[in-house]
Chain A
């Protein structure tokens, strides 16, 4: 009984904090510094520390949200279906750009991390940064990363991409919603996809597709590449 009460308390608090942070974010014209994942998780960390609750307990109270994330991944099929005609027209350059960006992304993460003398666990964890959380954790188990470090790196990459991506697109004068969605989904997975849906449904659908293909591509190549290194 007490467990259920605590569970409901943390679920309701998480949703309420998210709702408040989303409201603030919208009031501030979606300024990236107030991204609800940043402000929301900061507020929850504060609350957990204040009430002296450990992360593992919080994680067990909020499994329904992690479950929801998997359902949301499946749900991307709906906007993708709506974009099927546009996808049929652009699939060739789309796949080419996606593969090139993924390979450059992985190589640079490896080279910079290796150059800065990261230990193997951190290096392997940082390599998974651009794929969606459940996949990243799956890959990191294969190549020897640390699951919670992976989750934090992946989410941070998503937030950085969701903050900087649209800003860069404006600077580079890129208006094509397919290109914006492609870049956001490939480099910053689900958080980028959530951001792309705020730009337009087309950008969101292509971000979701890019996230999926990037996850497939990375899970196909990264474990075999790293087998040589370890």
Chain B
């Protein structure tokens, strides 16, 4: 019985997330919003949660496994590597260099700018 309830809660949560995503995609397509549909969906759910003042159980039950196993969801895109032999043999080194340099310097700029902020605010770990 407990499991059935949980499965129903997760299903309900997934439907909510799907509705938000679909609405986001629709708005982006319809009104040429310059942000991606799922990101708009996330902002919509966040606004709703702030208005509710609480997280409904279906949403917390459905979001936990999705966030925990996000890596699984990246695998299909990563497999796309198999069709890129020719472009990578020609430009691979340049692409890797551009990617590494900008990412590493970006990390440094990001944490330095954030931690050297003028007003000291204590954040607990």
Interface residues, chain A, CB within 8 Å of chain B? 14-15, 18, 22, 35-38, 40-41, 44-45, 48-49, 55, 58-59, 62, 65-66, 68-82, 84, 86, 89-90, 92-94, 96-98, 100-102, 104-110, 112-113, 116-119, 121-122, 125-126, 129-130, 132-135, 138, 146, 148-149, 151-158, 160-161, 164-165, 168-169, 172, 174-179, 182-183, 186-188, 190-191, 193-194, 197, 200, 204, 208, 212, 215-216, 219-220
Identify the interface centre among A132, A155, A220: most chain B CB within 10 Å of its CB. A155
Residues of B within 8 A of A138 (CB): 36
**Which of A77, A98, A119 meets B45, CB within 8 Å?**
A77
Determine the chain A residues whose CB is within 8 A of the CB of B59 once the complex forms.
Answer: 75, 78
- Which among A68, A177, A186 is the interface contact of B73 at CB below 8 angstroms? A68
Question: Given A86-B123, A100-B109, A152-B84, does the pair A78, B63 have CB atoms closer than 8 Å?
Answer: yes
- Knowing A74-B21, A80-B46, A129-B99, say if A215 contacts B35 (CB, 8 Å): yes
Residue interface bits B31-73, CB-to-A below 8 A is 1, else 0 = 0001111110111011001100001000110110011111111
List chain A residues, Cβ under 8 A from B119: 92-93
A-B contact pairs, 23 of them (CB 8 A): A58-B76, A65-B76, A71-B17, A73-B21, A73-B41, A74-B42, A75-B17, A77-B49, A92-B117, A93-B117, A93-B121, A96-B113, A97-B112, A101-B110, A105-B106, A108-B98, A109-B99, A116-B97, A126-B98, A148-B84, A157-B99, A187-B106, A187-B107
